[in-house]
Structure 1
Amino acid sequence: MFRISVTVCGRGISKRKRTSFSGENALPSNLRIPSNLVDHARRPPPPSDSSLPVLGRCDAVVPVHQSPVQTWVEKLERRDSKLLGLVDLHPDVFAVPTRRFAVSVSVVSRAWRRYQETGQYIRRRGGGQQPSSRTATSAFVQGGNKLHNFCFAGGVSHGPRGPTSFYYMFPMKVRVQGLKIALSSKLAQDYLHVVDTLNIPTPDPQGDDLKTVNVIPGIGLNIHSMLKHEVLVLTLEAVKFLENKLLWHDERFTPLYPFKLTCLEGTG
């Protein structure tokens, strides 16, 4: 019995060694990441002793316990163009811890804009004939051959109807926090590129009908557009504009909109 157990263990060890030294993949095929889902080669972070000039600095005061985040400044002319310099990004805007709640609520509230009204029983196709006889089951006594609310894709009782709007907005603090988290995630994933200008000296007609590129002003930047597109390109002026606007909400003491107290007293 002792020799049999040693033999079995020895076979397992030899098989394990042969598999590891033969160069075979240890992971099975269902656990391997496809080649099209592997992240692209990321750029190295800016070194601390870089000789390139700093083209942009933070206008707002950086807290003592934090330091500005640096990234490269590129040119939009060519893909392999030389780096122009560095830019300092405020850590309270581009280095914020991730909170999925602040990002998800913005997407959900935006989706409620396109919320359509539900189909009611009166709008379904069909007449007054019952789908089955009364003696078969008592479930179909209450209606005709129209789809009821207990059927699949049937009419909904007291469902939402237009023109009532179901769009709602979260507090400004939550929306600002979502923008900061989205910008920080793009920078951490190396999907944020800062350029000096968006002017291209030689226009290419092949880029006139690009459907995957959208140019929006800095005041129109939103979380939905940043999640929809993979890469975010900002100019130096846009970086300063976003930092000033987003940091202003952290220091303001007055509400953006006048507060109105709803009258809760009864008429009687």
Structure 2
Amino acid sequence: MKVKVQNLDGTEVQGAAGDVELNDAVFGVEPRQDILHRVVTWQLWNRRATARPTRERSDVARTGKKFGRQKGGGTARHGDRAAPVFIGGGKAHGAKKRDFNISLNKKIRALGMKMALSTKARDGLVVVDSLELKDAKTKALAEQFGKNGWNGKILVIDGDAVEGSFARAAGNLPGVNVLPAVGANVYDILKHDTLVLTKAAVEKLEARFNG
């Protein structure tokens, strides 16, 4: 699949560098809703931290010896300092530990990533030569995005690291997120309207699955 390479100002790159051949094994996979759903669910569940448990009576380090006589003491007939009614006692019906980490086969995760990229390759994918800016200002970058017709949520993925001036200029733009290629994931790709890849990002993503 051939895609025209653009500059950040919206003009097409001329010459042999003006086209990039996308690997059909990565950008030409037929999407399946069930696979994408499984991968997104796996991502979101793994963001949840482990639910911390509370200590119940059996977990509290207090004596189990009866501390007062049964009758005549003028107090209730308690037999255990670990009872919930005492300060330092165990929690009655406390929260249990819950671990939300779920596993997902590597092949399914890789397939979901390919399907997400393929979904954007059909509609919403832009390939740019690089992210170097002449005027690294947030206002200038926002105006440029408007001229290019990049509206809504925009995800920009670079190669090994995001170009510094671009990252600073895009940092305050609402709805614009930038990632290095190693951070590309199914959830972020699908939730953005436009996916912008640099040529370096295309190489890294293809090498990620063919390496």
Verify: 1:82 aligned to 2:12, yes or no: yes
Q: 1:112–1:72: structure 2 CA closer, same or farther, 3 Å change rule?
A: same
Give ranges in structure 1 of 5+ residues lacking alignment. 1-68, 118-156, 249-268
What is the rounded CA distance, in whole Å, between the counterparts of 2:192 and 2:5 in structure 1? 20
Q: Match of 1:82, as an amino acid?
A: E
Equivalent position to 1:231, from 187, 194, 203: 194
Q: Does 1:97 pair with 2:30?
A: yes
Closer/same/farther in 2, CA of residues 205 and 91 from structure 1, 3 Å limit: closer
CA contact (8 A) 2:130 2:199 kept: yes
Offset of 1:110 from its aligned partner?
A: 2.0
Q: Which entry has the higher C-alpha Rg, 1 or 2? A: 1
Q: Partners of 1:108 and 1:241 in 2: how far apart?
A: 25
The answer to whether the aligner puts 1:215 opposite 2:178 as a matched pair is yes
Which string of whole-angstrom CA distances, capped at 9 and with x for unpartnered residues, describes residues 187-238 of structure 1? 111x111111011111123255113111111011000110121111111111
Count of residues paired in the alignment: 140
Matched residues in 1 for 2:12 and 2:210: separation? 32
Q: Indicate if the aligned counterparts of 2:26 and 2:209 stay in contact, CA closer than 8 A.
A: yes
Confirm or deny that 1:205 pairs with 2:135: no
Distance in 1 (alpha carbons) for counterparts of 2:115 and 2:138: 36
Deviations 1:75-96 (A, max 9, x none): 01x24x2343111111111101
Q: Which has the higher contact order (CA 8 A, sep 6+)?
A: 2
Which residue type is aligned with residue 130 of structure 2?
T
**2:179 aligned with 1:246:** no
CA distance in 1, matches of 2:202, 2:119: 15
Tell me which of 185, 194, 200 is aligned to 2:119. Answer: 185
Provide Cα deviations, 1:106-163, integer angstroms capped at 9, x if missing partner. 111122233786xxxxxxxxxxxxxxxxxxxxxxxxxxxxxxxxxxxxxxx998x33x
Structure number with the higher strand fraction is 2
* Runs of at least 4 residues off by over 3 Å: none
Contact 1:106 1:178 in 2 (8 A): yes
2:45, 2:191 → 1: CA distance? 17
Paired letter, 1:185: T
Q: Which runs of 5+ in 2 are unaligned?
A: 52-92, 140-168
Contact 1:197–1:235, Cα closer than 8 Å, also in 2: yes
TM-score normalised per structure 1:
0.47
SS state at 1:216 partner: strand
Cα 1:158–1:70, aligned 2, differ >3 Å: closer, same or farther? farther
Distance in 1, matches of 2:138 and 2:119, equals 33
Q: Distance in 1 between matches of 2:138 and 2:32?
A: 41
Query: Aligned to 2:120, what secondary structure does the other structure show?
Result: helix
Cα drift, residue 97 of structure 1: 1.1
Task: Kindly provide the amino acid, as one letter, of the partner of residue 70 in structure 1.
Answer: K
